[in-house]
Amino acid sequence: MDFLAELLIAALIVFGGVFGLVGSYGLAKLPDLMTRLHGPTKATTLGVGSVLMASMVFILWDKGTLSVHELLVTIFLLLTAPITANFIAKSFLHRQANPETDLPPTGTECGWASFDVPPDSDDDEPNSLTIPRRNKG
Amino acid sequence: MIARLLPHPVLTATLVLVWLMLLNSLSLGGLLLGLILGVTVPLLTAAFWPERPRIRHPLKIIAYVLLVLWDIFVANIQIAYVVVFKTNKQLRSHFITIPLEIYSPEAITMLAGTITMTPGTVSSDLSADGRSLLVHCLDTDDPQGQVDGIKARYEARLKEIFE
């Protein structure tokens, strides 16, 4: 039993480590910001996920109690990772993308929210903190 | 009265559960403090979240979460393959537009989160009227197929749950 538990924990840690490594490698290797975003949002979730599972198995085997902190960490990770990625993507669009040439059309009457105002708003600025764009003023 | 005291009963239940999980034990004191938090936090934040989301089929959320977890697992392996074995020149990354059929802000948020966590896609922006989603694909030779896949696999299920 001890051997089996150790084998499982070791396998999970190695599996997680490999994915963490691949995620970091992707971050360094991929050519631009938008593609780089894919590395940390994907490969890292499984990497961290399996290390957390290894931790749960270890505590269950070592102390005989079920630890739920790891589940919480997983939930918070799944909640926050997409929001961080969205914030980074939006600031990238603000600073470096030209909505007319770089982005596909929205298919509706309005433009993308980073560049256009909602239809029922009186505000002329898309955002009160509008940063001057590199491509157009 | 109940509606004013508990503007978001689901949020209250979630907060109590998360608090108990943080304590990692079940005790009366922990439950009480959890309940206090579960009542005050939704009251203090009610102004930012005026409408109570309608959830038609709560049980289907569990099936949805399991599906997404499985997809995250598959996505990780696919992305790892792309990152390790493809050169940057072979990457065909695109922005794609997904026209939305769902209206509920909660459903759109969940769809955007799901897209970011699953195969080679990151949701980047929403159109100003909230009717389409801008998604970046890491490597795809069939952008329209990606759009159809996301709509059939995730959006249809969320529509069933929320609307």
A50 interfacial to chain B (CB closer than 8 Å): no
Task: Flag if B129 and A39 touch (Cβ within 8 Å).
Answer: no
Residue B73 has its nearest CB partner, among A31, A46, A103, at A46
* CA separation for the pair A51, A13 (Å, rounded): 5
pLDDT confidence of residue A10: 93
Give kind and range of the element (H or E) at residue B136.
strand B132-137
Indicate the pTM of the whole model: 0.81
The sign of the torsion formed by the CA atoms of B4, B160, B96, B67 equals: positive
Contact between chains at A45 and B117 (C-beta distance less than 8 A) = yes
Residue B153 to chain A, least CA–CA distance (Å): 18
Which top CATH class is B58-162? alpha beta
Amino acid residing at B156 = A
Q: For testing the chain B interface, which of A15, A21, A36, A38 should be mutated: the one with the most B CBs within 10 Å? A: A38
Nearest to B132 among A39, A81, A106 (CB): A106
Range A63-80 average pLDDT? 84
In this predicted structure, the answer to whether residue A120 has a pLDDT above a threshold of 80 is: no
The CA–CA distances, whole Å, from A48 to A8, A14, A35, A40 equal 16, 11, 21, 11
Give A126's contacts in chain B (Cβ within 8 Å): 128
pLDDT over 80 at A18, yes or no: yes
Listed by start position, the domains of chain B span 2-48, 58-162
pLDDT at A7: 92
Low-confidence ranges of chain B (pLDDT < 50): none
| A-B C-beta contacts closer than 8 Å | 143
Collect all residues of chain B within an 8 Å Cβ-Cβ radius of residue A25. Answer: 83-84
| Of A57, A75, A74, A78, nearest in space to A66 by CA | A57
Task: Using an 8 Å CB-CB cutoff, list chain A residues near B138.
Answer: 35, 38
The model's pLDDT over B4-47, given as tens digits with 9 standing for 90+, comes to 777 778 888 888 988 988 887 788 888 999 899 888 888 888 77
Rounded to whole angstroms, the Cα distance separating B66 from B15 reads 22
H/E run at residue A23: helix A2-29
